[in-house]
Structure 1
Amino acid sequence: MFTKISIRIVLACSVALSPAVAAANDALIGGIVGGIIGGAISNQPKRQTTTKRVYKPAPVKRTVNTAQREANRQTQEALNYFGFNAGAPDGVMGRNSRAAVTAYQVHLGYPATGQVTQFERDFLISSYYRAQSGGATTAQLIAQHPQGVRGLLLTYRDEKLNGGAGSSAIAGHYGMPPVVAAAVNEIAKSSDPSAEQLIQRSGFVQLADINGDGQTDYILDTSVTGSAFWCNAQACAVRVFASTPDGYERNDFQAFNVSPAMFSCTRGTCSKTNDGSQLATAQLIPQQPAPVPTLPNTQMASIQAPAGVATPVPSAQPVVNGSTTVVNSAPTIPNFFGGSEGTAQSLTSYCAKVNLMTSANGGFVTEASFSDPSFTLAEQMCLTRTAVMAEGDDLIAKVSNVTPEQVTQQCRSFGPLLKEHVSAVSLKSRADAIAGVSSFVLSSGMSPQQLTATAKICLSVGYRVDDMDVAIGSALLLAALGDHAYGELAGHHLSQGIGATKRTDLAAEWYTATLTALADGANPVFVPNQGERLALLQLATSSLTGGATVSEPVQMQIPQLIVDQ
């Protein structure tokens, strides 16, 4: 009984106290939940901050191209060295760097794009390292060149174009060896024209390999200066600089109407010869017959023979009657040059002269500076010659079991085989010349692939050894085999009159056909990275013909030979 009463009392108390306990429990739970949420809110910024510290820097570091940045840094350092302000070398090609690249391109006559090509960068970096390691030689070249440190780029470029290196290469003021440049300055001091103007005067600087060592020798003819200081009544001062392994030796002469044939050099020592200056005159002077011992009262017999009967030709005997009997010989074509080949101009010497003028002008002709179509085409001729020789060197290196000397010897035999077709370039239209070469291809017995490789190698050899029959003949072969871009070379030889007769009308036809082929997608084999070159070639071709439109070349019905590249 007591137990039941106790239970009831406990239950009643619990019922009476339940609202207060519930309220207390709600408050307790609310406090716990509020603390958790509040802690989460207060701790949330810490978790976000920690996340940013861990992950934010990672993507930035992974996007950096270390190799490219290092290459850019080298480019900037080289630009700064040569006086093109690229700013701090930080590896980022920004506005300052692009402006420096543009100035560098303009300086060397490259297209001014602000984006350096691989060719332009390679030349810039190699020039930078060469200048850095040059020591006293670099300092001397900088002091001698009117453009200072920037002139090094012109000097190195001219060496590359001329295929020279070392002490025998063209290097120095006006693109000439220092000793020659000093003589130019000496002559200019006593003449009205400046040194730069003298260099561009025809005949003042003459280039030839007089001593036969394969290097360019220099002749300075003061008769073109117009200054009486260097001349007397009969002759003018002439400076001849002959190349030696140790540099150039100067030889002083007095002469008039100078030509390289007037001099003979052995190493650095030169002397005058009479044959060079008097050859043409001697051939034109009638020669008096030398006294011949004769028999008295003898006359040349004249015998009439029946028709159809061959009679012996009597020997001619002079008549001694106080007069001389002249025996008429068969008509012949006069030759005033004493040799079967005449006086062919050397393309090597010609390009050396062109490169000197290019250097004096501060770089290659551009569309903006264009004025003389003939000189512009001369520059392009020498530029393509350099590109051809570089390609040929690479191909010769791949020929197994044959030395370069053997390659040269074999390519020289190419000239006589193609001489007829080379001569036709000066006389026939492009279509007729190509047709003739195509017949040669069909009768050669060689596959187009073999002929293409052979022609590319021999084209390089022809330019290197100054054999124009080999060079032009190889270019014609390549054009006939489908490499139409090589037709540009025929145009150059016709426009400049080297290896071919100077025919601007035929040259324009070759140029137009080449430009048309390139516009239709032909492979640009010469300096393909210089897009402005073709526009300049088009401009020069148009000016060469006086703005006249050249008719489209006639397409010959010849086999379409596909050459594997």
Structure 2
Amino acid sequence: MIGDDPVILRLTLTGLVSAALLTAQTAPVRADAGDFIAGAIVGAIVNHSAKQQPRRVYKKKTYVAKKKTYRPSIPATQEGRQIQTSLNYFGFNAGSVDGQLGRKSKAAVSAYQAFMNYPVTGQLTDFEKDFLFDSYYKATANSAVTASLIAQSPHGAKGLLLVYRDDLTGGTTAIAGHYGLPAVIAASVNEIAKSSDPSAEQLVQRSGFIQLSDINGDGQTDYVIDTSVTGSAFWCNAQSCAVRVFASTPEGYQRNDFQAFNVTPAMFACVRGNCTKTEGGTQLAAVHVAPAPAPGLPQVIEAAAPAMPVPSAQPVVANPQAAVAAAPALPTFLGGGGAETSLASHCNKVSLVTNSNGGFTRVASMSDPDFALSEQFCLARTYAIETSEEMIASIQGFTSDQIAQQCRGLAPAMQTQVAALSLKGQDEVTREVAAFILSAGMSPAQLKGTARICLGVGYRTDDMDVALASSLLLYALGQEVYGEILGHHLHEGIGTAQRTDAAMTWYAKGLSALESGAEPAFAPGQPERLGLLQAAVAAVAGGGAVAAPIPAAAPAAGLPTFALSD
């Protein structure tokens, strides 16, 4: 083929062009035909040559813009931080505490729900959240007790949740046999604690609650549990309190139940496991006898100390001779005047309702503002007791009983100011308390620390005069958050006359201080508590009443003082 050899192609092209020129010169009549032939041949060759040239390929580039993904940011909240803090404390890894409940936090929530046998959703219900928060506050309030429980639980810190859950439901996860007691004794302590405000760990440390002796003479330790020192009216009637005597036998301990007051082992006689109360034993009840100290510990002699009054939640032993020397009294036609309401008993009842409701009242679900305030009153009481006991543990040279006895001196010293709380306006009461402080001869810092200790002592022993005196001191010393606790007393009528109108002014001062950023005195880890209190107080707000004057102040008794720094 011509097109296949380039040399032949060039020669052929040259010849054809020459022939065309000759034809044009010699035969013009054939020009049209020659032009056609030459044009056709040249066109074919040019087309062929063009086909042999390399083609330029144009590639179309397509640019695809990267699609940006916008993820909505997770809001950081104080509640989120508290959830993360609580989950991390109990061993459910929620990551860094930033208040943003992302995937890691939700995974921790799911792990918490699975451990507690709740439906695993990754989202906390109100009850699950309340229980988590309450457990965290309880665990961090008493580090020594918490460390002991963690050490004895196979689940570590998670095991605290099971113990606290069973405290609410009456279960038995609490470890039997701890506190250094035999299992049956420890179980009885747990049972008593469930119907008392102090925890089981706090009860076993109280003087007189558990007394040890070999009552039946078999060489083994017997145990006497006296519920009168719990400060709870649940275990007492008008004359006596429940007493349990555990006598040792070869088969174990046998329990004997009695009703008595301020008991000692000498009041009982036991033959093997069977015990009886000796004749005339109750005549010794007027003298407080401390339990024998443990071997190796120094014994504190308290013979010179005056007898300690019995808290109002406990039965009172009458003294017929005392009436002879009594000053003339105002006439009364309503019997003995009736016993004052016990705050310990009140809080026991509130606790039962709270547990049956599945947790504390929340703002969104509040239907009974009076009960919501009662819950917060009892919560504040618990915090005051725990704070007091932590401070007492740091004081050297005094026993808990000695401190409690000194705190009782506040009641007669501030009798006038406490009485004024039910009768006078807030400003006038505050001025009277401030005047008392100026004459007390103690520095404000020392007096404030003493008042915080005695506030818890007053609540622990159900002595409202001591608790109210302590609260008034703290308020007048600039701790206006304690206006809340004074409002609670006036609203409930516990330790004071029931004055809802007066309660509102004290509530307002206390809540205003919290709203302004003052450090909370109670439940500091619950920021939502302020909103609940404000809503409940607003719902029960009432009118005013005219205050009546009270007699002139009596001479002040000596104030307790403890070596501590604020």
Structure in which a larger fraction of residues adopt helix: 1
TM-score, with length taken from structure 1 = 0.49
Greater CA radius of gyration, 1 or 2?
2
